[in-house]
Structure 1
């Protein structure tokens, strides 16, 4: 599929990727009422889902997946939910395990390649809720999960009509390298603190799985993936996790119309995270690379973010 020429033009001050990223993550506000539902996963853990609805009964739903240490109340989730609700589509924000304000039941939690929980949510929407049209939108880590899920060797339900992935680290090792560079130090410190704080809760319930000394050895995000993510989820080490969980290797096998939007000034993404070759070789894969936008920072003057507008445009003909 030819590369999409982007029309995104941000307000002047938001041409700076750092400013766009910080503003969107820490300052943006979206007013949205959500109802929470808890579902059981196939392995007897739980997921908390936050629902918002269109004015009229809808046969369409968009599943929204957040990024690393996010949750379903983050503005990049609620902004999309609100816009889709206004256009006749129900929305469900998925809180990954341990991200809804309550720790999950097991030592393992969530990671960039964990697709079974998304599959459980998809089946819940189709089999229990009765939706005939399902869209998926993943942001950052959630985008990698979305793309990997769609390209894996599994039966994708016919009700999944389209997907959107925003600011996606499709090559996890490359993205990890970028996050450890000085330009991203503030973000890396923030992510690591949230993750380590959660691990300090885990050790109280699972003292036989990890020690205080191991937690204290975590100085970087990569250390966290060495000490916890890889070991808790069946990988040999951090590199093995990055290689197996990266969605890049699954893009050629995506069979539903999918839009990937990665800004060229996204400081979290390495050169490998712009899958031009894969998009040109797969008619289902649409790649848009705006010059600006930072990491999930596609700000516009009308309060609707460009990535949210484009997501709606991408699926609009399928809604009704």
Structure 2
């Protein structure tokens, strides 16, 4: 059986960012990147919830609706990710309609959105090169609470399939690519292996800073001062707020006391994520939702990019070529942090990651 290839070439992280923690935190707070606005499309799901898609591309002008009569839903809430307005019927005709027009769907990470720094840098890079770019928001991550008691999780391939099918129907003649970052990358990679027979229409895909082994990743985020006091507290702050809002709408469904006292992601997943989404407990969820076991079944050309100093996943848990199909390219630079990959002079920029993705999409290497 042919195995995948392993690329260990460096991401040229500057010497003034000496560790994975510093690289991760600096990328999320201080590194420079271009910012763009999006046009939002809300699509109802089969279970009567909704998913928000933020679109950018040639012919779309987020701060100016298309000419002609159109009906817009209510105004977007202030600060709802990076969307400037709702999409109008005329916007679909404005997008490139020729066969093979390049298009990219991006799945964000835990509690991310189209406003996240990595999403902005990737979207701006490809949009400036004439691509259609759409950020698919997991339920409850677009700035508006979703309708159901459930939310999203790392292994929700059903929602990944729905979102991929939606953008394909919106732009059926496009040459589609998919990128998932962190949690979104895990769900995407799991889908690519689990439902490989449904992926032939995709040109190429990539997973960035993916916690491929959720058990190892969860353990890593539960130990150490930085992991618990910075990363975990950051995630739990917004996740707790969302759960308290849900508890008001669905009394008795969510254990508010346990959520309030959750110390780490294991406690949160054990209390809410696992039982709400059909798992026995946090460990069962992490084991069954991990994407690493599915890499051997991937059939579409796929880049799996993980820095070896990513604080969210120990290097010993990274996949080896023998664990992946020949369609997978593993890239494991020594430096980069988690969804960081900062390069350049102070304060640095985030251009290396989108350029790396672009090179893979163009050359397969």
TM-score in terms of structure 1 length: 0.93
* Higher helix residue share: 1
Q: Would the aligned equivalents of 1:62 and 1:89 in 2 still touch at CA under 8 Å? A: yes
Q: Answer yes or no: is 1:207 the counterpart of 2:232.
A: no
**Ranges in structure 2 where 5+ consecutive residues have no aligned partner:** 60-94
Partner of 2:40: 36
Instruction: Deviation per CA, 1:7-38: give whole Å up to 9, x if none.
Output: 32112112422221111112245321211111
Q: 1:271 to 1:201 in 2, by over 3 A?
A: same
Distance 2:317 2:283 in 1: 16
Instruction: Deviation per CA, 1:216-237: give whole Å up to 9, x if none.
Output: 3422211100000001100000
Q: Answer yes or no: is 1:310 the counterpart of 2:353.
A: no
Q: 1:42 to 1:131 in 2, by over 3 A?
A: farther
Partner of 1:86: 128
Partner of 1:64: 106
Question: In the TM superposition, what is the alpha-carbon distance from 1:270 to its structure 2 partner?
Answer: 2.1
Instruction: Deviation per CA, 1:170-219: give whole Å up to 9, x if none.
Output: 00010000001114121111112221111111100111202333333422
Aligned to 2:203, the other structure's residue is in SS state strand
Question: In the TM superposition, what is the alpha-carbon distance from 1:108 to its structure 2 partner?
Answer: 0.6
Q: 1:157 to 1:252 in 2, by over 3 A?
A: closer
Instruction: Deviation per CA, 1:270-304: give whole Å up to 9, x if none.
Output: 2454101445x521010011111011110122834
Question: In the TM superposition, what is the alpha-carbon distance from 1:317 to its structure 2 partner?
Answer: 4.8
Q: Would the aligned equivalents of 1:61 and 1:131 in 2 still touch at CA under 8 Å? A: no
92, 96, 113: which one aligns with 2:138: 96
Q: 1:278 to 1:47 in 2, by over 3 A?
A: farther
Question: In the TM superposition, what is the alpha-carbon distance from 1:122 to its structure 2 partner?
Answer: 1.3
**Ranges in structure 1 where 5+ consecutive residues have no aligned partner:** none
Q: Which has the larger radius of gyration?
A: 2
Q: Would the aligned equivalents of 1:166 and 1:262 in 2 still touch at CA under 8 Å? A: yes
Partner of 1:198: 242
Q: Answer yes or no: is 1:122 the counterpart of 2:164.
A: yes
Aligned to 2:150, the other structure's residue is in SS state coil
Q: Would the aligned equivalents of 2:54 and 2:136 in 1 still touch at CA under 8 Å? A: yes
Q: Number of matched residues? A: 317
Question: In the TM superposition, what is the alpha-carbon distance from 1:155 to its structure 2 partner?
Answer: 3.1
Q: 1:226 to 1:299 in 2, by over 3 A?
A: same
Aligned to 2:52, the other structure's residue is in SS state strand
Distance 1:201 1:161 in 2: 40
Q: Would the aligned equivalents of 2:106 and 2:133 in 1 still touch at CA under 8 Å? A: yes
Q: Answer yes or no: is 1:152 the counterpart of 2:152.
A: no
TM-score in terms of structure 2 length: 0.82
Distance 2:331 2:275 in 1: 35
Distance 1:67 1:256 in 2: 22
Q: 1:161 to 1:70 in 2, by over 3 A?
A: same
